[in-house]
Structure 1
Amino acid sequence: MQKVIIPEIADKQTDHYLSKKGYEVLTVTSPDAATILATAPDVAGIMMFVSPFPNDLYDKLPNLKVLARYGVGYDSIDAEYAATKGVWVTNTPGANAISVAENAVTDIMLLSKRSYEMSTLMHQGKIRTAKQLFGHELLGSTVGIVGYGHIGQAVAKMLSGFGVKTLIYNRTKRPTEYGEYVDLETLLKQSDYVTLHIAATKQTEHLIGEKELAMMKTSASLVNLARGSVVDEQALITALNTHQIASAALDVFDEEPLPADSPFYKMDNVFLTPHTASNTVEAGQNMAFGAAKMIDAALSGQKPEWAVNDPQL
């Protein structure tokens, strides 16, 4: 019986799908290198959250055949190296698209209405100060979407009912009725809200840095539900402190969980969430089932539908 390691929550979300398929399922809170080695060095398949999977770990797991990401991004795994070790790497494209897109639109609304600031002041008993804040209507504003995969497309569709102008930056120009493709500079200069939904790669590392932040309007806001590496965090901290941009909503960071001494905690113009944009019952089930099915496919000798590498090459 082949062993698989999966997060405990994923086992519940799939109603023990892999156990019913005949695998020996070992559940852990979150699979990281130390936990994997302590649980089952002879494991054949692992469902991964976002913990890094070091390249030197493969030789310690001789039976490993598949790493299935519970989610879309797989930047914590070197998929090309995994292929050289005969290991499939898979993800679950589109599984969390609606949940993340809804959170992006929610964040844009929170920033536009300054809801977070008002709520914080009210919690502090400063109701008169809260009542003096004024937000903005979205109607007539410009929203820039950086990255136009499943999530970016869903954001554009959702925003279409708000009467906004939508600008899109993406390497591939997919057909769309919900916005206009422009270059990144144009998007940054014209947008009132910039929302990031681009994959984390070497090419997109610090895509938004000091130069790009300086292009944005001083009244503009940035939403990042992609990956921390897409933004130069120190440059963003400076831009927010100096009011180079007005505000930000951040779900991802260079270091996660966000360290207790991060300057972001002291800023009243930043709305923070702990990498939970896909934390809905529906997205969780979609990601868990998708990853479980990829494990089953790989361990059954099939090519997983959502493989991001190919150890057969």
Structure 2
Amino acid sequence: MASQFSLLPAVATVLAATVLLCGTNGQLSSSFYSTTCPNVSTVVRTVIQRSLVADSRITASLIRLHFHDCFVNGCDGSILLDGNESEKGAAPNANSARGFDIVDNIKLEVEDVCKGVVSCADILALAAEASVSLSGGPSWNVLLGRRDGRTSNKEGAETNLPSPFATLNEIVQKFARVGLNINDVVALSGAHTFGRVQCRFINDRLYNFNNTGNPDPSLDPAYLVILRNTCPQNGSASNVANFDPATPNLFDNNYFSGLLKNQGLLPSDQVLLSMPGVVNHFAQNQTAFFESFAVAMINMGNINPLTGSSGEIRSNCRNPN
């Protein structure tokens, strides 16, 4: 594992280099809408701020949409499409992916000021950045210029998205297939520093780990009590538990501190302790985590974007034109 830790160089230098490289990659640029829709970032941020008043979970939900979009067919807004074979209906998204109504609201307001200009894929990228910064996390220059795909890929969502029950090797392999490295794995996992997960995804860990009839022995006992209170054995599977029991609505580095206490909520969280050097680094240095997270988000946003004459600019994010 030592070679994996070497992927943590001086992060600020990496961030600057990544921005320079990505600014010319695939025609994506932070200034793409500077003349055609200069206020798009403000519009996106304002809609999310309004939404937060009624729904503290929405920021975590919006960044999850961007993640789940980019891992299937690239960052093309395909997760937003309706239909029988849509990604929305795939197992990783069905009855758990949320925030589609907020994206609709953003699109309506963007169309009011810049009709037919901004893609739904770019709205997801902007919403992810705004969600993180509004929650106390880092900000970064979002690279823009993506166009929207015309089809959704349910099968791709079933196979390409990392499972909450995956081993570390399985997670790393799925990230590698889309060009992301170990640093990206750990940093992007840090998005679980805010948000919730439904009890159905963790009940086995709490009550019947590996069909033993007992809880996962790796869980911190005090944390197990908290989770069982939130997810009682015969309670609703759709109840939600906080990823971070300390600051569930803030974007900070408490996620990594929790991992060191065996308080990873999902199995895919706790397996990151196989790389204790990276986890320790982020737990002790929030600035390093924030900088690495910004790099990883830029890298993820560059997964196979449609640019130029490819794809389209959807007028309604739920349907192709």
TM (normalized to structure 1)? 0.30
More helix by share: 2
More strand by share: 1
* Structure label with greater radius of gyration: 1
Structure with bigger RCO (C-alpha 8 Å, 6+ apart): 2
